[in-house]
Structures are given as structure tokens and as C-alpha cells.
Structure 1
Amino acid sequence: MSPKTIQLYLYCKMPYTTTVFKMTCVIILAAAVYLQCSLWLKLATRENYEYRNTKQKRVSISNIPMGRHTPPVLSNHCYRYGKLAAVNQCCRMYDYGINNRQNILECAARSPAWFDSNRGLKTSKLHWMFVGDSHIRNLYDVLIRRLKSPLLVYRKKSYREGLWRKMDTLLLAKYQGIPVLVKHLKAPLLLTFTWSPLLELLPNLTKEWLNDEETPPTLVVMGSALHWTHKTWDIYKNIGAEEAAELYKEYISSLSDPANKKKLIQRRMSVVFKLLDHLPASSNNITNIDTYNRIASEVLPAEVVVWSSTIPLSDLYVKECERKKRDTPETKLWRCKDEKHTGYVVIQRYVDMLLNYGCNHILNLESPYCRHE
């Protein structure tokens, strides 16, 4: 083939070759864009599901018996979760934040009167008692930190012993194992905490409340599971989750005394049982936490309110700690190195929920538990 013929041949084929090349490039580029978009959409959808629907990560937190009534403020079904926050979709809650417009002291001042048989007269006092393990203690700690005031004092040991001291010393102290009382010098407010990680002291405390031996609480917040998981670790490891939780089930069942129900109702005493938060996966017996929460939801009597709305927030906290390890010892907002507790950054939200439930329940408002728009 002559050079002229070759040149003519290339001239004739070039347009066709260029078109095919362009089409091929377009197809490859379109395929690449499609794959990239699909991958991005898949990741975004997955992240959105894990982030916004964290409460569905562990199905068992929604397995609360249908016959049980949990108020909207404490039920996980009423919240939209995200960015370590929970927005109630069932009702609008009061603001008990750090710059609170609604103060717990107003709640205490308006609390109904009760009869004190020891003094032979009626008195008005908002008495909230916290009983349980370190998770309940942290909740109590955040509450009294929020109420920090020169008019708040505390003492340890018992109701009738010990000197009343300034609050700034309590905030630096460890009060594990010792009952702590915090009161306001001018408002009728009393907040107590009793260390009882297995709730072993609850029967005696209940007897004191019902027999007027001590100032009966208007609200009792309790919780216990973490120490039970440690106590039954060998059973869990060698036999199984259900078998390990059987001891817990038997004990929780024994706490329900039908004879006390009527007295508790007459005293308008509200009892809240806080379910155990989800903890980092490396914690011992972590996979058994849902079993204990389910048992508490099933076994506790209907008069006891099961508090489940904190669990999705703990999931978000654990996820954030996995993304970025944070530790702020002074404020305790972040405690990512602590595999047994959540940081105060989410416990602050727990206190918001509790204040809304507690104050509205005690005051017996027309719209119980929350303010509807």
C-alpha cells in the first residue's frame, strides 16, 4: 500500500475512530460517576440509619410489655435522637437547662403537703431519693451540680447524724457506699442518694418510708444491673446469658410486694426504674445488658415506671467516643476511657427528662409529664 493510500485510509477512518473513542470515554466516565454516587448514597444511608435511628440498633430496648404505661418524657418512642441530643416528639418539655427558665425550686415550693407523724403536723417537702449503683449516683451528681447554690448543704451517714456542710466540698468527694443528703436552706427541697448497687437495701428503705420512720420520698429513682452482670460473669461465660440473668430476675421479682402498692399510691409516691445504658463493646458482659433491661421491663409491677429513653443517647455517646476519644476529668462531660459509664454530656439530658417527669407528676398538672402546645 502506497503512502498516499495509507494517508487517505487514515483520513477516512479518523472520524469514526474519534467518535468511538469519545463514546467510550463518556461511557466510562458515566459508569465511574454512577459507582461513586451509589457508594456515597450507600454510605450516607447507612450512616443516617445508624445515627438517627440508634434506638433500633438493639431491638430489645423496645420490648417493653405493651400493658406497661411509660410517660412520654421517659419513653424512647417519643424522641428523635441525633448529635447527642433527644427531641421529644410527643410533647414540648419545660426548659430545666443550665440557663433554666423553669426552676426546680418552684416545683419544690408548690409541692403538696404530707403528714409527718413524727411531728404530728403537715409539712410540704419535695423529697427525691436515688437508690442504686454508680449510674444512679452520676445522675444524682449532675442534678445537684445543676442546683449548685450557697443555700444548698449536705451531710452524710444518716438523717439524724453528721454535720451539714457546704456543697463545694461534696462536689470534690467520693460518696460511694455512704448515704448522702442534700437540702436547700430556704426551699422545701431534699435530695438523697443511697448506694445500693444490687438494690439490697431497698426492702428496708421501703419499710421506713411506709412506716413514717423517715421523710418519705415523693419520687424514687432506682437502677441496678451493672453489678449484677459482674456478679454473674462466670455463669454468663460458661452457661449463657439467660441463665446468668436468672438471679437478677428472681431478686427483682421479690421486690414487688402487693401489700405495699396501695400505701405507695396513697402517698402519691412515684417509683422510676432506670434501665442500664449501653456501654462500649469491650466491657465485660456487655451483650447481656439488653437481657437485664428486658427482664426489668417484664418483671417490675405496672406501678413502676420503666425509664428507657436514655439508652439511645448512650448509644450515640459510645459512637462518638469510638470516633474520637475524649476525656475531661474536671467536668466529666467526656469519659471515653471509662468503659462502665457514660459522660455527663448525655447525663445532662437525662436530668432534663427526669425534672420534667418529676415536677409535673408531683404538681399533678392538667397535662401530666409534659406541656403540650
Structure 2
Amino acid sequence: MLSSIKQIIQATSNKGFKWTMLLKSKHRTSNEIIKLCGLAIAFTFIFFQAVLILQGFSTTPPVLKQSCYRESQDPTEFPINMCCQMYNYSKKDFFRCNTKIQETQQITRQITERNFPLEGSTNSTAHKRTTWVLIGDSRVRQIFSAFVSLLSGPRLKYKKPSTLGKWRSIHELTESLRIGKLHEDIEVNHLDYFVNLKFYWDPKLQRLPKLLKEWASNESDRPFVVFLGSGLHWMRQSIHAYHTSGLQSAASSFQMHMEKLYPQIENIASSINTIIQLLDPVQETAIFPKYKGIYSNENVQIYNQIITSIFSKSNAIIWDSNIPITNHYFRQCQIKNRQSYDKLWDCGNPLHPGFIAIEKSLNMLLNGICNKFLKINELYC
């Protein structure tokens, strides 16, 4: 998107120069001047849209930065963002955000097609669904589950391979999704708000290259947001290498895979809002003996350093503010081993935080993406 914006700005700047020269001519018709005034307005609009996108995603938003969070004075409360205020998103707020995103995309698309028509362009004003894609392991699926719960209602439908492609009522999905036993792709659609959520079960991001290639070659199918996360399954498969060669050596296969992904991720990150979440810490005292050492916070740090070193200078956002939230959650689990049916607290699970932490992470994500579209008070993230 950023590269195409630069082309549009350059082209419209050239036409703006022609508009100035025409005004100086005494022999131009009023229709020509009106047309070129329209081009000047279009240029101004697209320029500010470009600035909006560049400001929003050229650097990590403070709501997604670990450095912005400090422990609360109340030891039972989750860490507080000291850089900005968090907005608490409801379902209604998200749908307002989605509508604003669609309006922005539609206006930009119409102006682009009208003033710089491409061969085969239909200049369609039809609604285009806003697609949010989440790809990765069970921790990514937890974010997806919280997202589905936020939007849940009778007009939300889902399908997955086990439904044979048929759309079903969302209430059939929410409980099994919350429990976390689904190892398959899931697609969710809202019938009224033109929003589409897709979860790809890809715990080692091995399917990701094919998806990235498809999005790079087909602009109409590109999602608005791509959210990635992986690590635990790479750790589990490297347990033999860990026992024979140590943690650093065991992480080499993960590092090589992420390095291979870099060019493709960097390519789509210029046109798609791409977010890579660092690994959450684990509750080491509750890890099964078989996986002691490999599932450790030392190893989590190694994996996170690999991701950061590879992608720190890319267009993708590295999200690490989930780390202080999960750290706090597991400290509370050590103080009081809590368990609830709704999985808000799931202290018996050493690898996955409960949804009281996951829902906070989802709210971070929505603040990071939606606030600028809703033009929330400047004090907010």
C-alpha cells in the first residue's frame, strides 16, 4: 500500500503542476479548470490518507509497546500504560471502527480508479468486506476466540472444514473455541457489518508463505490486518537438540525459518497492516518434567530476540506489550491458583494465560488499529 501511495502522490503532484499552468493560461475553458480543481482536491485527500497510514503503522503504537507499561500500585491489578490512555472497546465500538475503515478504503479506491483508471477497472462502489487474518498457534487462536466472543450475536456466522463449508450459528463454536481444542481453520462473517475474521491453524507458520504469495499477487483478496504468532511448536520439536546441544542450537531451525519468511512478510507489510506478537512467558513451576528447560522463560527470551533481530527494521509491527500482562497473570496464579469454567482464569495451564489476560491483549490490538479511525481523544493511545 505504501509504495502504491507514493506512486499516486507523485502522479497527482505532476497533475497539480499542470493545473497551475492551466490557471495561468487565458485560453482554457472553465470545464478544464473545474476538472483540475477536482484533481487537486483528490490529491489533497490521498496525501492525508497516506500520512494517516504512515503515522499509524510506520512505528509500533504505544499501546503495543512493552516499555509503556508499569505495574499498578495495586498489586492485584494488571500493568498500566503510562504513555497513553486505553480505550475499552465494545462490540459497538468495533463496528464503528470497521465502518470508518470501509469508508476510508472505498473513498480512496473511488478516487484512485476515477483519476488513475487501471485496465479492467470497474469503478465499483460496492461494499468490500474488511478482513482480519490471524495466523499461528494456540496462543493466536486465543486472541481469535476473544475476538469472536466480543462480536458474538445472532448475525455472526462461522464455517470450518468440519462443517463442510456450511455457515453455522456462532453459538455452536464459542465454547469449543474457548476450551481450545480446535486445530483447524475457522472463518467468521458478520451478516450486517461486512467484517470477516479468519483464523489459520499454522502453528509453525509453514503455510504462511503460500498465503503471502496469494496476497501479494491479488490485491482484491488482501486482508486489512495480518496478525502472526508462533514458537511453542518449534520448541517442542527441538527437545532432542536442546538436550544434546543446548537452547541456542535448538532454536536455530526457528531462526532459519523466520529469516526465510522475512522477504515475503516485508513485501506484504508495505500494503497490509502486519503485526507479529512476541511469545508470552510461561509458568515454569507447572511445566511437565518432560518439557522442563525447553518450555522456559529463558527459551522464550531467545525466541523473542530472534524475532526482534530479524524484524526490528521491517514495516511489520513487533508487539511485545502482551509480555507484562502475561507475567502479571502468572504471578497472580502463583499467589492464588484460580480456575474458572469460562477460562478467565486457567492457572493449571502453564503455557496459556487465561482469558482475563487475553481479553486485555485483544483490547490492545483494537486500540492500536482502530483509535485513529474513530478519532478518539488525543490522550488515548
TM-score by structure 1 length?
0.72
**2:87 paired residue among 73, 94, 99:** 94
3-state secondary structure, aligned to 1:191: strand
Structure 1 residue 306 and structure 2 residue 318: aligned?
Answer: yes
3-state secondary structure, aligned to 2:175: coil
**1:280 paired residue among 273, 283, 286:** 283
3-state secondary structure, aligned to 2:97: helix
Contact 1:177 1:194 in 2 (8 A): no
3-state secondary structure, aligned to 1:124: coil
CA 290–113 in structure 1, closer or farther in 2 if over 3 Å, else same: same
Residue equivalent to 1:337? 348
Q: Deviations over 1:253-274 (max 9, x none)?
A: 100116x745542x3x111111
CA 119–278 in structure 1, closer or farther in 2 if over 3 Å, else same: farther
Structure 1 residue 169 and structure 2 residue 172: aligned?
Answer: yes
**1:242 paired residue among 220, 237, 248:** 248
Distance 1:350 1:81 in 2: 16
Residue equivalent to 1:150? 154
Structure 1 residue 76 and structure 2 residue 87: aligned?
Answer: no
Residue equivalent to 2:142? 138
Residue equivalent to 1:189? 195
CA 87–73 in structure 1, closer or farther in 2 if over 3 Å, else same: same
Distance 2:304 2:122 in 1: 41
RMSD: 2.9
Distance 1:151 1:107 in 2: 18
Query: How far apart are residue 298 of structure 1 and its match?
Result: 0.6
Distance 1:360 1:235 in 2: 44
Q: How does 1:344-355 map to 2 (within 5 A)?
A: 344-355=355-366
CA 315–186 in structure 1, closer or farther in 2 if over 3 Å, else same: same
Residue equivalent to 1:127? 131
Structure 2: gaps of 5 or more residues: 1-57, 114-119
Distance 1:339 1:356 in 2: 28
CA 321–308 in structure 1, closer or farther in 2 if over 3 Å, else same: same
Structure 1 residue 294 and structure 2 residue 305: aligned?
Answer: yes
Q: How many pairs were matched up?
A: 295
Query: How far apart are residue 203 of structure 1 and its match?
Result: 0.5
Distance 2:223 2:189 in 1: 13
Query: How far apart are residue 161 of structure 1 and its match?
Result: 6.5
1:307 maps to amino acid? W
Residue equivalent to 1:16? none
Higher share in helix: 2
Structure 1: gaps of 5 or more residues: 1-67
1:94 maps to amino acid? Y
Residue equivalent to 2:24? none
3-state secondary structure, aligned to 1:171: helix
Distance 2:85 2:128 in 1: 28
Residue equivalent to 2:329? 317
Query: How far apart are residue 199 of structure 1 and its match?
Result: 0.5
Residue equivalent to 1:113? 105
1:326 maps to amino acid? R
TM-score by structure 2 length?
0.71
Greater shift, 208-217 or 351-360, is seen at: 208-217
1:173 maps to amino acid? S
Contact 1:131 1:194 in 2 (8 A): yes
1:142 maps to amino acid? A
Residue equivalent to 1:229? 235
Larger Rg over CA atoms: 1
Contact 1:84 1:313 in 2 (8 A): no
Q: Deviations over 1:181-216 (max 9, x none)?
A: 111111021111000000011101111222228732
CA 371–105 in structure 1, closer or farther in 2 if over 3 Å, else same: farther
Distance 1:309 1:349 in 2: 10
Contact 1:275 1:293 in 2 (8 A): yes
